[in-house]
A and B are shown apart, each in its own frame.
Chain A
Amino acid sequence: MSRVSSALNPERGGRMVRAAVLAYIGFLVLLPLAALVQQGLAGGMSALWQAISAPGARSALWLTLWSAAAMALINALMGTATAWALVRYRFPGRSFLSTLVDLPFAIPTLVTGVMLVILYGPHGLIGGWLNAADMKIAFAPPGILLALLFVTLPFVVRAAEPVLLEQDPAEEEAARTLGAGPFIIFLRVLLPPLVPAILSGTVRSFARALGEFGSIVVVSGNIPYKTLTTPIFIFGEIEAGSPQTAAAVSLVLLALAVVLTYAGRALEKWTGVRGV
């Protein structure tokens, strides 16, 4: 092994690795995306516009956007708090908590939806009780929000954690000696270096939520104009034999994801050094 790596010209080896990775990612990501764009634009711009401005599509897009935004907001707050608790405190069950945070990634999202319905459905453990108080979680927008929060849980936590680990306690102490209160310390000393990481985690969770299908299709109720999110609307169009409408609306999600990714990068640069 060591013979091979030393024999490789580092310059040429680097070029080869780069070319291989580029081909790999291009094949894996760029090619399918190109196919989607082609299908989405197949009917021309007016057909594209018609597809995404139809009332059903518009209401689905709106629901997806606001539920993802609400999720992202809660994630930014609670994710940071969770990372904070995991890094700053030693308490019994800490490593268990850390494992729990990662678990949502390992659970099939369809199963997530089923769990939520069992729990929050009108006859569920909690849902039955809430139902009596006339509050609906499953088959209503709160169910969508819960599902999104579940499937995106690790994003902000895992983004903020390494930054918190690297923070030098000396800075905090210096601030305290200079007479700063805990609130000022948090706002002026601890938070600024965290912002890029929080933003990046939040943006990623938002992008992930735009496309969430498995849990939502089970938990939301899928009623057009009320609880039908964009990915399920798209699925319906495919099933109903309108792949062009499906591709057109998918393009909107794709464009959003691209814009978000770039916006996230720009924000990270603007707010300071990149976390990672």
Chain B
Amino acid sequence: MKQPSLPLALFLVLAALCVAQEGVCDSPTRTLTLGAYTAPREAYGKAIIPAFQRYWKMKTGQEVRFQESYLGSGAQARAIAGGFEADVAALSLEADVDNIARAGLIRHDWRAGPTQGMVTRSVVVIAVRKGNPKGVRDWDDLRRKGLEVLTPNVRTSGGAKWNVCALYGAALRGGTGAAKGNAGAAEMLLRDVLRNVTVMDKGARESMINYERGVGDVAITYENEVLVGRKAGGTYEYVVPRATILIENPVAVVDKYADKHGNRDLAEAFVTFLAKREAQRAFAAYGLRPVDAGVAKEVAKQFPAVRDLFTIRDLGGWSQVDRGLFGASGAYERAMAAAR
């Protein structure tokens, strides 16, 4: 038998692939790749992505297929910077988005939007056992002798830095027993609490899994972790300290990859969609505080108010915190060494 020519064979293979894929090759299906951190996984997978697919179909007639990847925020940022071609990055920390920008992949000012590039919020809280048997009310209670505290390792979990910032910042602001602005007293509180930490898990999720398993008396964690855990049947509760930090989670279009895939319009529409009411309500249903003021009012009952809510900017911003608090000779390292 005469062999078919190479171009013909190639064509046949491609045609077969197209048919296997979609039925017809030029069907208006598009693929958007989302590189996200793990906490909003359910919100994206179960609510927001299907809603966006409907929205886009109505608007343009195109089907959108999603490729979703969920990793710890730092690891996801490194994956994208290292060549994982996500069109949209949804991360836990601004610094992680900045890392992708520094790799030259995000070229626009991603903080320029109406919500400064942020789509969700949360606060650092203290998870306690049902009925709060240890009577934990605020940060100062965590230094009590014999109390077992869980918080993830700040080196392996960028998000765990929020916990330390909340505790340390609350002390600095006079939100604990320490006098306002007394850095020494804040460091002592940090040391005492770190001394009570029995497990420093790899990440926030692992830490809560251990807590659910019965390890520890309290866990320092984010409000959304507790709310999602309770939704899944967890019986624990949480207390909101008098002073705590506001967590803000950014989303950005990864310019280089969105352009490469011809997905700019789609990626930008998705990011815009995340700040719209429908998506904001979905985030709220999964325990994340909305950035949209209107939706925030709707769900205000769901999220207790915080007496003294401060942000990372009140501590001088991440670059200042990374140096002064988490740097090699920063307050955290000193407190950790003193706690041994």
Give A contacts to B, CB under 8 Å.
Answer: 54-56, 117-118, 121-123, 139, 217-218, 221-226, 228, 232-233, 235-237, 239-241
Contact = CB atoms under 8 A, between A and B. Distances in A.
A223 B200 contact: yes
12 contacts: A117-B215, A122-B214, A222-B202, A223-B197, A224-B336, A224-B340, A225-B339, A232-B156, A239-B72, A239-B156, A239-B157, A241-B99
Contacts of B51: none
Interface string B304-340: 0000000000000000000000001000010011011
Nearest to A138: B215
B200 A222 contact: yes
B200 A123 contact: no
A224 B158 CA distance: 16
Given A55-B337, A225-B337, A226-B340, A237 B155 contact: yes
B54 to A, nearest CB: 37
Contacts of A217: 202
A139 B215 contact: yes
B200 A221 contact: yes
Nearest to A219: B199
B198 interface: yes
Given A139-B198, A239-B74, A225 B340 contact: yes
A127 to B, nearest CB: 10
Nearest to A223: B200
A223 B214 contact: no
Nearest to B194: A223
Nearest to A118: B213
A223 B201 CA distance: 9
Given A117-B213, A121-B213, A239-B75, A221 B198 contact: yes
Contact of A123 (B74, B199, B213, B340): B213
Nearest to A50: B328
Given A56-B337, A225-B339, 16 more contacts: A121-B213, A121-B214, A121-B215, A123-B214, A139-B199, A139-B215, A221-B199, A222-B200, A224-B340, A225-B337, A225-B340, A237-B155, A239-B75, A240-B155, A240-B158, A241-B99
A118 to B, nearest CB: 8
Contacts of A55: 337
A124 B111 CA distance: 47
A236 B160 CA distance: 12
B57 to A, nearest CB: 39
A235 B152 CA distance: 14
Contacts of A225: 336-337, 339-340
Given A221-B198, A225-B340, A239-B157, A54 B213 contact: no
Interface residues of B, number: 27
B153 interface: yes
A226 B339 CA distance: 10
A56 B157 CA distance: 17
A240 B158 CA distance: 7
Contacts of A122: 214-215
Contacts of A240: 74, 154-156, 158
Contacts of A222: 153, 156, 199-202
B152 to A, nearest CB: 9
A231 B86 CA distance: 29
Contacts of A56: 333, 336-337
A222 B207 CA distance: 11
Contacts of B199: 139, 221-223
A121 B211 CA distance: 11
A54 B328 contact: yes
A35 to B, nearest CB: 14
With most chain B CB atoms within 10 A of its CB, the pick from A56, A121, A139, A237 is A139
B336 A239 contact: no
Given A54-B328, A221-B200, A222-B201, A123 B215 contact: yes
Q: Which are the 7 A-B pairs with shortest beta-carbon distances?
A: A236-B155, A123-B214, A225-B340, A221-B199, A222-B200, A240-B155, A236-B156
A218 B155 CA distance: 16
A247 to B, nearest CB: 15
B213 to A, nearest CB: 6
B273 to A, nearest CB: 31
B213 A223 contact: no
B338 to A, nearest CB: 10
B38 to A, nearest CB: 14
B157 to A, nearest CB: 7
Contacts of B75: 239
